[in-house]
Amino acid sequence: MPRGVYIHIPFCLSKCPYCDFASRPGKFSGELEQYLSALQTEISQRAEGRATTVYFGGGTPSLCSAAQIKTLMDALAHNLRLSPQAEITLEMNPATMALSSLAAFRQAGINRLSIGVQSTSQRSLRLLGRTHTALQARTTIQKARRANFTNVSCDLIHGLPTQSQEEFQADLNTLLSWEPDQISLYALQLEPWTPMAQQIQNKTMPQPDDDLTAKMYEWARAVFLRKGFIQHEISSFSRPGKTCRHNLLYWRGDPYLGLGAAAHSYEQGVRTWNCSDIAEYIQKVSKGGQAQAGREALEGRKRKAERLIIGLRLTSGVNKQKMRHNFGKDWKKEFVKAFQDMKQAGLLMENSEFIRLTPRGMLLADVVSRAII
């Protein structure tokens, strides 16, 4: 079966106070070269078969030069069959971009950009610890169009501490005026060890308002649908034909190969992941070994529950026929009580073909997930 390929670049200009991703800020030019060399080795060891998507995530992959990305793309092409219509995404920070490098990335094979705008408000960008300005974000989108990128996605965070409904509405309207092809709308989620979470715990920053965050999402969803955007997944709204195909692999439970420090892979119910420490990753891979740090075989109820939880993020929901095919005709019996409770609460809907979240269920997807687990 064709798969997606995820390549992790764990270096950043600075660490945002809300971020819990595997990334490291600071001066790293020498280590980056070593890391990219190790990545080429891992590609030669693990990349095989056919791939339909490639996703460079991070961290900040746009800290790499176009020549470095081209070297990784050549290594992939040498070791696997990349579909001629493959979607090849590069995440980028607007603070790193120039027109010349965007054009070079396009020539290197990148055909989709995911730009970490996060906000169009200078006040919110400062709160989020972002290194770019709103002007840089808008200019990056404009430069991307001039560099012949026809699929440009932007991230937008809502539900920030002290953010009002009016501020968020202005934020989204401004981003829409820049005409991206997809917007990934994320509610601020804070792990307890992040600096921003600690500020909230220490009461030096107010707690985000969950009810207001839900109101923001409902308003935004109505705006997107009114403007002709398609919602395929809880957080993703795109113009027709511009949905991120790589992300859909995750939600559909399709196989994907993760390369680089902290990268996860999944195939046939088995999840594996690499060590997250950059130096350890370089050392292990460069010596011809594997950087795998863990393996989990999802079996029985656990595998079915994960397939349900992930699939319910899609607006199309979970296909019951596919569940019967994968897990047998009695797959549903372990979840009957949870489904009944969630339907009575107005969070789930079901017909002969699908089980899916209601609009209210999209706001409370974590509640549904806990009930299924």
Assigned token pair, 357: 């979240």
Question: Which residue type, as a one-letter code, is found at position 57?
Answer: G
Judge whether residue 160 has pLDDT over 90.
yes
Phi, psi for 7 (deg, rounded to 5): -120, 120
Determine phi and psi for 327, rounding to 5 degrees: -125, 0
What's the rounded mean pLDDT across residues 140-157? 96
243 close to 251: Cβ distance less than 8 angstroms: no
R_g of the chain computed on alpha carbons: 21
Of 67-71, 97-101, 191-195, 255-259, give the lowest mean pLDDT range: 97-101
Question: Which amino acid appears at position 168 of this protein?
Answer: F
CB atoms within 10 A of CB 352: 6
Alpha-carbon distance of 267 to 22, in angstroms, equals: 22
Q: Which amino acid is at 91?
A: E
Q: Do domains 3-251 and 300-372 have the same CATH topology?
A: no
pLDDT of residue 191: 87
In angstroms, the CA 320 to CA 89 distance is 31
Strand 152-158 versus strand 112-118 pairing type = parallel
pLDDT band at 163 (very low <50, low <70, confident <90, very high): very high
DSSP 8-state class, residue 255: -
Tokens 């490098």 locate to 101
| Three-class SS state of 164 | coil
Dist. CA 33–CA 93, nearest whole Å:
20
In tens, the pLDDT along 169-180 reads 999 999 999 999
In the block, residue with structure tokens 């993020």: 313
Q: How far is residue 205's CA from residue 162's CA, in Å, rounded to a whole number?
A: 9
Q: Are 51 and 76 in contact (CB under 8 A)?
A: yes
Structure-token match 């109101």, residue found? 215
pLDDT of residue 122: 94
User: Across the chain, where does the E strand assignment appear?
Assistant: 3-9, 11-12, 24-25, 50-58, 81-92, 112-118, 152-158, 182-187, 230-233, 236-238, 256-259, 264-267, 270-274, 292-297, 318-319, 348-350, 354-357
Q: Is 121:137 a contact under the CB 8 Å cutoff?
A: no
Report the pLDDT averaged over residues 61-68: 94
**So what's the pLDDT on residue 1?**
61
Q: What is the DSSP letter of 201?
A: H
Largest CA distance in the chain: 58
- What CATH number was assigned to the domain covering residues 300-372? 1.10.10.920
Tokens 């470095």 correspond to what residue?
68
Percent of the chain beyond pLDDT 70? 98
Tell me which residue of 26, 88, 37 sits closest to 63, measured CA to CA: 26
Quick one: fold of 3-251?
A: TIM Barrel (3.20.20)
| pLDDT reading at 373 higher than 90 | no
First to last CA, the chain: 28
Total-model pTM: 0.95
Cα dihedral 246, 145, 219, 225 sign: negative
Q: Domain ranges in the chain?
A: 3-251, 300-372
The predicted structure's pLDDT at residue 2? 65
Calculate helix-pair angle for 66-79, 29-46, nearest 10 degrees: 10
Does the structure show a pLDDT above 90 at 287? Answer: no
Mean pLDDT of the chain: 93
Q: What is the pLDDT of residues 201-254, one digit of tens each?
A: 898 999 999 999 999 999 999 999 999 999 999 999 999 999 999 999 999 999
pLDDT at position 184:
97
The Cα 242–Cα 292 span in angstroms is: 33
Task: Supply the pLDDT for residue 32.
Answer: 92
pLDDT value, residue 21: 83
